Amino acid sequence: MQAWRASLLRFDADGTAVYDRDGLLVTAPGPQGWRVIVAAGDFATLAPRFAAVPLQHLPGRILAPGFIDLHVHYPQLDVIGSPAEGLLPWLEHYTFPAEARFANPEHATELAGLFLDELARHGVTTALAFSTSHPASVDALFSAARRRGLRLITGKCLQDRHSPEAVRDETEQSLLDTEALIQRWHGVDRLGYAITPRFAPSCSEAQLRGAGTLAARYPDVWIQSHVAENRDEIRWARALFPNSRSYLAIYDDHGLMRERAVYAHCIHFDADDRALMRQRHTAAAVCPTSNLFLGSGFFDFAAAAEAGFLHGLASDVGGGTSLSPFRTMLAAYEVAREGQTKPGVSLPATRLWWLHTAGAAAALGLAGVVGNLAPGCDADFIVLDPAATPLLARRSGQARSLEELLMALIVLGDDRAVVSVHVAGAQG
């Protein structure tokens, strides 16, 4: 066993943040071959039970759950910051050309390593990530994540139409490749597979149907895609699938809405779409820096909470502008505040943090597995320095409540505040 004494940020079952100013975190090797949390809470209460365990004392530091990025494209590191008139020109001019390079497995391996290095630097310990349409891009990311002992979910992009040849796949082969990748990787160590139709406009009816068949055959595999991001995209999707009630309903009509399905964006929804998300236990990955950068619109946090469907935060790099959860939480606050096109709400910092940790885990169907410091959870946690920069030290020192402390971190924090990252499956 190992123990750390520091401040602890964790969440109870209803999502309320709990802060132990003087806390104790104890981890031990778990039954599945990676470390798990044995105890997390108040130091004075817990210390007698673990008096014999080697202890690291980190005064002034905060232990927090590793962040979860609910939607990110590892092949798009070379696309960040590419300006375009909107989603569709951005895909055509920057994204598809960058993804075409992943036909080369060496390029995929290089970028997979860089991607996981960057996630770690920013305190992200789990991601639901897109690969490209090339199966070798999936092998590259899974191999790299496995070596690091990470819990990571990815899948081969399905896109058999309306895509340049270098990234387009072939319907039947794409489904065979998907099933082979599920069998090769899903459930190996901490890895999980996601069936990944890129978005309805890039998939034929037959490809979506095949994806839905696989989703039914492998119910504990994830599903990820995009929906209702941009008005031009929505018009296009509706024209291609005129029999579906809405863009979201296209996925439902093909068996692609269920638990463990995560749709990025979900901006331009009506009340029926929101009700369908809730009924199907399907989750939204909210991508505020991407939506601001590409001019896509503002996710309606108030309507999502009222409708009661699962949602959490995501970077959507390379449409998104940063892998930093601090930047994503700040943008989420600003997008939620926007009150001209929808109701503006002021999300508490504790809620923003939850949406990027325990709430994101719940969206993945992984509550109690990752995203929290609680007994039984995988031991994925980060050590934060609330005095990482002079101004952050000053503002966090002035905080009179947990809310003020976390908001100072969200607004002023960045990778400099992430002192170290502990991954449950890491060797040594």
**Which positions touch Zn ion (CB under 5 A)?**
264, 316
Q: Is 380 in the site for ligand GUN (CB under 6 A)?
A: no
Q: Is 194 in the site for ligand GUN (CB under 6 A)?
A: no
Stated length of the chain: 428
Of 87-95, 133-141, 375-383, 420-428, the window that binds ligand GUN (rule: CB under 6 A) is 87-95
Q: Which does 207 bind (CB under 5 to 8 A by kind): Zn ion, ligand GUN, none?
A: none
Nearest distance from residue 303's CB to ligand GUN, in Å? 21
Position among 41, 312, 319, 359 found at the interface with ligand GUN (CB under 6 A): 319
Transcribe 229-266 into DSSP letters: --HHHHHHHHHH-TTSSSHHHHHHHTT--STTEEEEE-
Q: Is 35 in the site for ligand GUN (CB under 6 A)?
A: no
Interface with ligand GUN in residues 212-241 (CB under 6 A):
226, 229
Nearest distance from residue 95's CB to ligand GUN, in Å? 5
Nearest distance from residue 84's CB to ligand GUN, in Å? 11
Position among 69, 169, 273, 316 found at the interface with ligand GUN (CB under 6 A): 316
Pick 266 or 405: Cβ nearer Zn ion: 266
d(CA 126, CA 371) in angstroms, rounded, equals: 9
Q: Is 198 in the site for ligand GUN (CB under 6 A)?
A: yes
Report, in this order, helix, strand and coil percent for the chain, each rounded to 5.
Answer: 40, 25, 35
Nearest distance from residue 318's CB to ligand GUN, in Å? 8
Pick 125 or 224: Cβ nearer ligand GUN: 224
Interface with ligand GUN in residues 277-296 (CB under 6 A):
290
Q: How far is CA 52 from the centre of its chain?
A: 37
Pick 64 or 91: Cβ nearer ligand GUN: 91
Nearest distance from residue 65's CB to Zn ion, in Å? 23
Q: Alpha carbon of 118 to those of 122, 174, 208, 324, 428: distances in Å?
A: 6, 30, 33, 9, 21
Pick 120 or 227: Cβ nearer ligand GUN: 227
Q: Which does 282 bind (CB under 5 to 8 A by kind): Zn ion, ligand GUN, none?
A: none
d(CA 358, CA 356) in angstroms, rounded, equals: 7
3-state DSSP assignment of residue 219: coil
Nearest distance from residue 399's CB to ligand GUN, in Å? 35
d(CA 153, CA 223) in angstroms, rounded, equals: 10
Position among 5, 10, 35, 73 found at the interface with ligand GUN (CB under 6 A): 73
Pick 233 or 316: Cβ nearer Zn ion: 316
3-state DSSP assignment of residue 96: helix
Identify the CA nearest to 311 among candidates 242, 362, 353. Answer: 362
Identify the CA nearest to 145 among candidates 74, 207, 76, 85. Answer: 74
Q: Which does 169 bind (CB under 5 to 8 A by kind): ligand GUN, Zn ion, none?
A: none
Nearest distance from residue 178's CB to Zn ion, in Å? 18
Q: Which does 199 bind (CB under 5 to 8 A by kind): Zn ion, ligand GUN, none?
A: ligand GUN
Q: Which does 156 bind (CB under 5 to 8 A by kind): ligand GUN, Zn ion, none?
A: none
d(CA 308, CA 363) in angstroms, rounded, equals: 12
Nearest distance from residue 76's CB to ligand GUN, in Å? 7
Q: Is 69 in the site for ligand GUN (CB under 6 A)?
A: no
Nearest distance from residue 288's CB to ligand GUN, in Å? 12
**Neighbouring C-alpha atoms within 13 Å toward the C-beta of 83:** 0
| Residue ranges in 224-357 assigned as alpha helix (H) | 231-240, 247-253, 271-279, 288-293, 301-307, 325-337, 349-355
Instruction: State the binding string over 342-361 for ligand GUN (x if CB under 6 A, else -).
Output: --------------------
Nearest distance from residue 331's CB to ligand GUN, in Å? 14
Is 267:228 a contact under the CB 8 Å cutoff?
Answer: yes
d(CA 338, CA 319) in angstroms, rounded, equals: 20
Whose CB is nearest to ligand GUN?
319
Is 379:35 a contact under the CB 8 Å cutoff?
Answer: yes
First to last CA, the chain: 13
Q: Is 134 in the site for ligand GUN (CB under 6 A)?
A: no
d(CA 152, CA 159) in angstroms, rounded, equals: 22
**Total binding residues toward ligand GUN, as defined by CB under 6 A:** 11
Q: How many helices (H) and strands (E) does the chain have?
A: 17, 15
Residues that bind ligand GUN (CB under 6 A): 73, 87, 91, 95, 198-199, 226, 229, 290, 316, 319
